[in-house]
Chains A and B, each alone.
Chain A
Amino acid sequence: MSEAGSRVALVRVALPYHLRNLARVDGDVEVEAAVPVTIRSVLDALEGRYPTLRGTIRDHDTGQRRAFLRFFACGEDWSLESPEKLLPDAIAQGREPLLVIGAIAGG
């Protein structure tokens, strides 16, 4: 849950199976994302907390989302939104997770 006046917010992220393995976690993870909470600030926090995930969700140099991954927030596809766009309060306040989902493609 975010705290009034704090510079970070505790955000939940749901990772796909292989990234959970890389991060050595079970289930959703919680990261302290910089406020304002955006996809960029969440991913920065995620990669800072779990460096083994760097380069697996977004390109190291361009920051672009990897083509076969999608972001969902509160039931909406945020994959094509700007990484600077403010995420919904439910995400920023930790009530719902930001979903990182691998495309169901390729077998």
Chain B
Amino acid sequence: MSSVRVLVGTKKGAFVLNADGKRKDWKVDGPFFAGWEIYHLKGSPVDPNRIYVSQTSGWFGQLIQRSDDGGKTWHQPGMADEALPAPGPPTPLPNRFAYDTSAETGAPLTTHQWYDGTQHPWEFKRVWHIEPSVTDPNTVYAGVEDAALFRSTDGGESWHELSGLRGHGSGSKWMPGAGGMGLHTILIDPANPDRMYIAISAAGAFRTDDGGKTWKPINRGLVSNFMPDPNAEVGHCVHHVAMHRSRPDVLFMQKHWDIMRTDDAGENWREVSGNLPTDFGFVIDVHAHEPETLYVVPIKSDSEHFPLDGKLRVYRSRSGGNEWEALAKGLPEKDCYVNVLRDAMAVDTLDDCGIYFGTTGGQVYASADSGETWMPIVHDLPAVLSVEVQTL
């Protein structure tokens, strides 16, 4: 029987939750990296035993961890012998993320917009999102704050910026969202690895068609009333973007207000919020087998980051947006004031698609029936920052 492995990043460590295909009885392992902020962890679709982790701390900075055995043991890439130095050439620096400022390949770009409208230098703070390649377990992308895209081709032992993103021309207009200027979404077209989409809070969405060398903003149709020009080319606060692997030209976006959809790879977006009680939120995801079935968790507003009326609800559309239905069976119906952060929802690929999400209150909920019913896997973890799931 197939099984699932849920990878949970929290404010104080990572957890690995395992269950068989019934998804009823769960084994909880962790906390790994206890006390550290685990912004994201994700497994390679090519080798499910290979898992990458963004481990970060305000005191000690950024680390990358890797497992080659499905989460049983971990090491910093290139340092499998733990603290013992290897003889020979200098050891890898798997936690070095240096912006490319070289004359040959670096962007002639040194500043971005700051909260007060002035220009501010780029400063690396942390890795927000890790996206393993769909073809090679040793190739992995990292979206970082201050927004930039890095790639490793040696299993995380070294990282190099894909500087064409920051350097394409609009970077000086990018500005931080409330949580910082993070590159939080990386989507790889499974049929065309030269095409990737990324999203930045609060710059917007971007696309490359040449493997990351050049990029273009893809924000036409997004409207953000907090900006002087609501229809500007960049500056939109995109919270998350989701894609179904069978239709890589179709994307769904949860923005700072509005659910948006594109059918032409981001060339044009249209709103599909429809009958949602509120269209603010962070997560969005797509059913594994139904490309028009979407999931969001509506949050009251940008001033009050919790569910409406204290009721935690997932909303599902089976029509690609506009028509939404509330899914509440098994979720708290009162006194629930948690948030669900942008990387904290995922789906498995079992026949009866499972949906998972984690909350800032430390719960991880699972549905083994496409959202009809929910149950908590765990109640009292630290605030959940990310949820990914592997189908084994």
Contacts and interface: CB of A to CB of B under 8 A. Distances in A.
Are the chains A and B members of one assembly? yes
Interface of A: 16-19, 22-25, 48-57, 60-61, 66, 68-69, 102-103, 106
Interface stretch (B56-64, B202-210, B222-230, B322-330): B56-64
Interface stretch (B79-87, B184-192, B242-250, B274-282): B79-87
A102 B60 CA distance: 9
B91 A51 contact: yes
Contacts of A17: 35
Contacts of B85: 48-51
A20 to B, nearest CB: 10
B76 A52 contact: yes
Contacts of B96: 55, 60-61
B76 A18 contact: no
A102 B62 contact: no
Interface of B: 35-36, 57-63, 76, 79, 82-83, 85, 91, 93, 95-96, 98
Given A24-B83, A48-B85, A50-B83, A55 B95 contact: yes
Given A18-B36, A60-B93, A55 B62 contact: yes
B95 A54 contact: yes
B59 A66 contact: yes
A19 B82 contact: no
Given A23-B83, A25-B83, A18 B93 contact: no
A52 B61 CA distance: 12
Contacts of B83: 22-25, 49-53
A102 B95 CA distance: 19
B95 A103 contact: no
Contacts of B95: 54-56, 60
Contact of A52 (B57, B59, B82, B98): B82
Contacts of B93: 54-55, 60
B61 A56 contact: yes
A103 B59 contact: yes
B63 A56 contact: yes
Nearest to A102: B59
A56 to B, nearest CB: 4
Contacts of A57: 60
Given A55-B63, A66-B60, 4 more contacts: A49-B85, A61-B98, A66-B61, A103-B59
A63 to B, nearest CB: 13
11 contacts: A18-B60, A24-B82, A25-B83, A49-B85, A51-B83, A51-B85, A51-B91, A52-B79, A55-B61, A56-B63, A66-B60
Contacts of B58: 68, 106
